[in-house]
Structure 1
Amino acid sequence: MGSNENLENLLRSGGLKLEPPDRKECEGLMRSASDRLMDAKTASLSFASRFDLAYNAAHAIALTNLRLQGYRSDKRYLVFQCLVHTSDVSKVHVRLFALCHERRNLAEYEGYLDEDEALLAQLLDSTGRLLIAVQQQMGEL
């Protein structure tokens, strides 16, 4: 998708940093994401474990996408927000990832996680779609 004004603004504000893509890093992130996504579908695991695995898979894929564009961010939420500028991911999916980020933070920092199986199903589906899109993008390089 390439650079655009929104990414340049984030670069100027310090939210993003320029860093050339590293194929080895991206392959490692995608391998980790694929494994986590597969494990997140294991019904015998607790909800908290499945959600954590799915969320972290989504983050790794979104980070890979950002890295492929030549950027890096230390802010987890920005990695998801940048998807609308770096890929064909819809704003609906980005909002889902943002909601899951908020839920992850509640669980991580406040010890509260609402067991929402419908949300987890949506996260698994959206993460699977993102995985395929970024795999295709990597294949084009």
Structure 2
Amino acid sequence: MTSPPLDNLVKIGHLKAEPRNEAEVRRLLAMARTRLVDAALASLSLEGRFISAYNAAHAAALAALRWHGYRSENRYTVFQCLAHTLNWPAARWRVLDAAHQKRNLAEYEGYLEIDEDSVEELRRVAGALIVDAETLLA
């Protein structure tokens, strides 16, 4: 399934076109659901819950991109493409962009400043993303 905006990202090297692999999409969504459950575990640290919610969102966004026949090695691009894969408005996927920036600070600089409310917001957005991505399979 081609998309002019996504095809343009292929032309400039931000995405790769690959045939849809429904089994891969299903595996990514299963992983997203598992990570979302992990993000709710009170026994995990706040940081662990944040990373689990972030990974849930990334897996679901990647599933949507793969369903459309594209792949990206850049996590940020996967979130940006939600405007085209799931028709998400910018205000919605920018929550994931903010989480991506926090994740990068944690991964590359050892700095993560988060609170309970931001983790809960990320969990809510990741949950909605999973539900929306699952509709592609229906």
* Identity between Structure 1 and Structure 2 (%): 45
| 5+ residue gaps, structure 1 | none
Q: Does 1:57 align with 2:56?
A: yes
Distance 1:10 1:122 in 2: 29
Spell out, residue by residue over 1:48-81, the C-alpha distance to the aligned partner (whole angstroms, 9 max, x if none): 1000100001000000000000100111100000
5 Å-filtered alignment, 1:92-103, equals 92-103=91-102
Q: Does 1:129 align with 2:128?
A: yes
Residue 12 of structure 1 aligns with which residue? 11
Residue 118 of structure 2 aligns with which residue? 119
5 Å-filtered alignment, 1:79-94, equals 79-94=78-93
Q: How much has 1:5 moved relative to structure 2? A: 3.1
Q: How much has 1:88 moved relative to structure 2? A: 2.7
Quick check: 1:89–1:130 contact (8 Å CA) kept in 2?
Answer: no
Distance 1:51 1:31 in 2: 18
Distance 1:109 1:76 in 2: 14
Q: How much has 1:26 moved relative to structure 2? A: 1.0
Quick check: 1:3–1:86 contact (8 Å CA) kept in 2?
Answer: no
State the SS of the aligned residue for 2:112: coil
Q: What amino acid does structure 2 have at the position aligned with 1:121? A: E
> What TM-score does the superposition give when structure 2 sets the normalisation length?
0.95
| 5+ residue gaps, structure 2 | none
Distance 1:115 1:126 in 2: 16
Quick check: 1:57–1:127 contact (8 Å CA) kept in 2?
Answer: yes
Across the aligned residues of Structure 1 and Structure 2, the Cα RMSD in angstroms comes to 1.1
Q: What amino acid does structure 1 have at the position aligned with 2:112? A: L
Spell out, residue by residue over 1:80-124, the C-alpha distance to the aligned partner (whole angstroms, 9 max, x if none): 000001113221121100000000000011000102222111110
Q: Does 1:34 align with 2:29?
A: no
**What is the number of equivalent residue pairs in this alignment?**
138
Q: What amino acid does structure 2 have at the position aligned with 1:107? A: A
> What TM-score does the superposition give when structure 1 sets the normalisation length?
0.93
Residue 105 of structure 2 aligns with which residue? 106
